[in-house]
Structure 1
Amino acid sequence: MIVASSKPFPEIKKMLSGFKKVCVLGCGSCVTICHTGGEKQVTELAAQLRLAAKLEGRQIEVKEDSTLRQCEWEFIDDIKEVIKDCDAVLSIACGVGVQYMAEKFPKIRIFPGLNTTFMGGPTEQGIFWERCAGCGNCILETTGGLCPISRCAKSLLNGPCGGSQNGKCEVSQETPCVWHQIYDQLDTQQLLATMETIVPPKDWTTGMENHPRKMILEHLVMKKQ
């Protein structure tokens, strides 16, 4: 899932200053799970905007709505009637959702209410950890299913480094050393010999350094044609 954090309210208020009819639009997927862009957050943020305007003596109309996914055309088609007379939309989706909204409705100002941070998941209630860097060349089959690209501070392909101590990363003692975890995982699976193989330098051209990236599913493209 994509994990995103809420922008500070003063920043949001500044972005929306001067607009008199705004829609706060949530997304029912990833950002709902990480408690930053769901229907509850839409209601709370809309209330904050109304209260701030009232305290400042400004007139503002704030609509509230949400869609299952802002990153798919068919879902954002459903909200065009809601936002057609709005001056601006505050999207509390990930950065992909914000861009889809901006492309679909070019005449309406679309503002981001969140900061997209990483791909990850919850490890316990209220705590989310990065798990994937989207490098485009997955090696999880050799590391016991644990990703050293996203979970190692140095993205080491041959670890651990000399700085890890007692299973903790030298960068932060709160962060587990993923190579320690990989060792334990491979030991459990009786695959420790895998670590004796030196992994060559990674082809980073498949990662974020070579953006924008695109994936084409040929069978679907041919079917559409």
Structure 2
Amino acid sequence: MIVVENKPVEEILQMIAPYKKILIAGCYGCVTVCLAGGEKEVGLLASQIRMARSKEGNEIEVLEQTVERQCDKEYLLKFQDNAREVEAIVSLACGIGIQYLAEIYEPIPVYPGVNTQFLGANRDIGKWEEFCMACGECVLDKTGGICPIARCSKHLLNGPCGGSQYGKCEVSKDVDCGWHLIYERLKALGQLDKMAEFIPAKNWHRDKGPRKLVKEELTLERD
């Protein structure tokens, strides 16, 4: 899932300082799971904004709406009625949803109410950990299902480095060495021979702008 955290209310108040009527847009997707952008958080932020502006003697009208996903145009269109009524929108979706919302409802300014952190797994209640950096060239088949880009502090494709000791990373004794985890996993799987396989450098160069994925069979069906 995409993990986000709420921006400080003070920062959001600065963004919306010029406006008298705004919409706070929530999402029932990942941001709801990590307790940062669902219906409950939309209501909480709306209350905080109203109270802060009231104390300043600068009243503001805050509309609230949460949709299934903000990364899908079908659901973004549900904001149409409220979007027509406001001067600005604060989105509590991930960076993808924020940008798509801004594109759909241009020229209405759309501001981020959260900071998008990483692609992570839910380790425990209220605890998420980065598992993937969405590099687009997955090597999990070679590393026992543990991502060296996300789990190694140096993002090494061929490790470990010389700084790890007793299974811990040199950056901190509290951080597991990603390549030690890979070694132990491959050992348990009986696949230690994969440690000798060289993984070539990834092609990070993008000469055609943002990455895109097109399912031709779906576009043909639509046409």
Number of the residue aligned with 2:53: 53
Q: Which moved more, 1:157-166 or 1:51-60?
A: 157-166
Whole-angstrom distance in 2 between the partners of 1:202 and 1:75: 35
Q: CA deviation at 1:140?
A: 0.3
Number of the residue aligned with 1:212: 210
Number of the residue aligned with 2:186: 186
SS at match of 2:141: helix
Q: CA deviation at 1:210?
A: 7.1
- Which amino acid in structure 2 is aligned with residue 103 of structure 1? E
Identify if the C-alpha distance between structure 1 residues 210 and 178 changes in structure 2 by more than 3 Å, giving closer, same or farther.
farther
Number of the residue aligned with 1:5: 5
Number of the residue aligned with 1:20: 20
Number of the residue aligned with 1:128: 128
Number of the residue aligned with 1:149: 149
Number of the residue aligned with 1:158: 158
Identify if the C-alpha distance between structure 1 residues 35 and 210 changes in structure 2 by more than 3 Å, giving closer, same or farther.
farther
Could you tell me which runs of 5 or more consecutive residues in structure 2 were left unpaired when the two chains were aligned: none
Runs of 4+ in 1 over 6 A off after TM superposition: none
Whole-angstrom distance in 1 between the partners of 2:195 and 2:44: 50
Whole-angstrom distance in 2 between the partners of 1:60 and 1:147: 46
Whole-angstrom distance in 2 between the partners of 1:88 and 1:204: 36
**Do structure 1's residue 222 and structure 2's residue 213 form an aligned pair?**
no
Whole-angstrom distance in 2 between the partners of 1:179 and 1:26: 38
SS at match of 2:163: coil
Whole-angstrom distance in 2 between the partners of 1:83 and 1:200: 48
Instruction: Give the TM-score of the pair, scaled to structure 2.
Output: 0.95
Number of the residue aligned with 1:37: 37
Whole-angstrom distance in 1 between the partners of 2:203 and 2:73: 33
Q: Per-residue displacement from partner, 1:125-175 (whole Å, max 9, x unpaired)?
A: 111111111111100001001000111111111111111112111112222
- Which amino acid in structure 2 is aligned with residue 179 of structure 1? W
SS at match of 1:142: coil
Q: Tell whether the 8 Å contact from 2:140 to 2:146 is kept in structure 1 after alignment.
A: yes
Whole-angstrom distance in 2 between the partners of 1:211 and 1:175: 34
Q: Which moved more, 1:144-153 or 1:195-204?
A: 195-204
Q: CA deviation at 1:211?
A: 4.2
Whole-angstrom distance in 2 between the partners of 1:128 and 1:211: 30
Q: Tell whether the 8 Å contact from 2:88 to 2:108 is kept in structure 1 after alignment.
A: yes
Instruction: Give the TM-score of the pair, scaled to structure 1.
Output: 0.94
Report the RMSD for the aligned CA atoms in angstroms: 1.5
Number of the residue aligned with 2:176: 176
Whole-angstrom distance in 1 between the partners of 2:35 and 2:48: 17
Q: CA deviation at 1:14?
A: 0.3
Number of the residue aligned with 2:109: 109
- Which amino acid in structure 2 is aligned with residue 6 of structure 1? N
Number of the residue aligned with 2:200: 200
Q: How many residues align?
A: 223
SS at match of 1:169: coil
**Do structure 1's residue 139 and structure 2's residue 142 form an aligned pair?**
no
* Superposition map of 1:67-86 within 5 A: 67-86=67-86
Number of the residue aligned with 1:100: 100
